[in-house]
Structure 1
């Protein structure tokens, strides 16, 4: 996935932090509505460039975990007051618990049921009894729609001043019948400071699981989850909010 390594320097043009303020506010509302006990510390798994964290850090002491060093670099610059650690959400073990655990769209890269189960077990292991988790995949089987899912990118505020700019298109392909994965194709045009433009084609593989599978895997991880349906920019999203029962051990 070139977007998160070879092309990581372009990330702020792909996904500006300001675009996440409304979304982060909704996540905060859901967490507060479900929580029992204090909500002071949060672990974010698959934190990427730190865009959600740039808003959530006003309300939490954040520990951010991501496997891509290029993305952690951006997040450290954007969120210097947060703790940053390298790790895979399927296997990382920090040896401590948090009031909340948050996983945004990086969970979509769990392409097998075993991957997803492992990620949810990581959530449970790091959640204190009575703590709350929020997991926000881009799609479930029921909410998925193939096609062009978004177009975007950033251009310089003052054209011709030597700033880089980027435009992109995301195209989600239908999964194979009975399959649990689908491809997302990124077509990107990158304009360098010297005015030259090049194109990049990047392919991502996403997991696709039913709501029932998600809820079953939460239960198997020792978490009591419910489905929260929301609309963002006119598109329906399924979000899962889960509690770790008080007195439980994971």
Structure 2
């Protein structure tokens, strides 16, 4: 996907870290409400450019895992105090356990039930007994809505007064009844520091599963899980809070 590879250094304009303060506070609340025992060492799978981590690191010691080395470079610049490890959430094994594991919307890229189960097995493998998993997809089947958003940002101007800017449209298409895979298209306009503007189209696929499948898979890999609502900018999302069985 172009957004996470050739366009990775544009990520702070696509999704500024400052935009994540409210939701990071919500994740901290949910983790603390479910935790028993210590809550210090936290693993984030699919950490991307490190935007959530830039807020979570004030509360926890973070290890960040992402499959894109380009995105890890962005995160290292933002979060130099965090441990960064390349890896796929379906297969990575770090050989240690944590007090909590957090997965944000990168879980949406699990487009089959087998992929989703593999990711949840990875979460379970890296949690101490009694540890907390917090999984925050963009949508479940019950909450999904297609739609279009327009966003973007501007870099601070350099010494020469020039900066880069980006504007994009995110178009999430309707999903057929019963389908577990959907498409989202990004149309991006990128203005370079010299004033040149170019356009990029990028298409991503996401998985979409009902709550019942999520909860069954959590149970199969050793969790007691439930759904908690999280509210971000006035909108409510499903969040899965799960405790690793003893």
The TM-score, its normalising length taken from structure 2, stands at: 0.97
Matches within 5 A, 1:57-206: 57-148=57-148, 150-156=149-155, 161-206=161-206
CA distance in 2, matches of 1:5, 1:53: 20
2:54 is aligned with 1:54: yes
CA distance in 2, matches of 1:151, 1:237: 20
Deviates more, 1:110-119 or 1:154-163: 154-163
After superposing on structure 2, the runs of 4+ consecutive aligned residues of structure 1 that deviate more than 3 Å are 156-160
CA contact (8 A) 2:13 2:155 kept: no
CA distance in 2, matches of 1:59, 1:93: 24
Q: Secondary structure at the match of 2:42?
A: strand
Matches within 5 A, 1:236-247: 236-246=236-246
Deviation at 1:157, TM superposition (A): 5.0
CA distance in 1, matches of 2:15, 2:194: 22
CA distance in 2, matches of 1:212, 1:116: 13
Deviation at 1:158, TM superposition (A): 5.5
Q: Deviations over 1:59-83 (max 9, x none)?
A: 1111000000110001111111110
Q: Deviations over 1:10-30 (max 9, x none)?
A: 001001111001100110000
The residue aligned with 2:210 is 210
Q: Deviations over 1:32-91 (max 9, x none)?
A: 000010001000000000000011111111100000011000111111111000000000
The residue aligned with 2:38 is 38
Q: Deviations over 1:118-147 (max 9, x none)?
A: 000000000000110100000100000011
CA distance in 2, matches of 1:94, 1:72: 17
Q: Secondary structure at the match of 1:107?
A: helix
Q: Deviations over 1:172-226 (max 9, x none)?
A: 0112332101000001110001111111110000000001111111001101111
CA distance in 2, matches of 1:6, 1:157: 21
The residue aligned with 2:3 is 3
CA contact (8 A) 2:26 2:230 kept: no
CA distance in 2, matches of 1:156, 1:85: 28
- Could you tell me which runs of 5 or more consecutive residues in structure 2 were left unpaired when the two chains were aligned: none
Deviation at 1:154, TM superposition (A): 0.5
Deviation at 1:116, TM superposition (A): 0.2
CA distance in 1, matches of 2:150, 2:157: 21
CA distance in 1, matches of 2:147, 2:58: 36
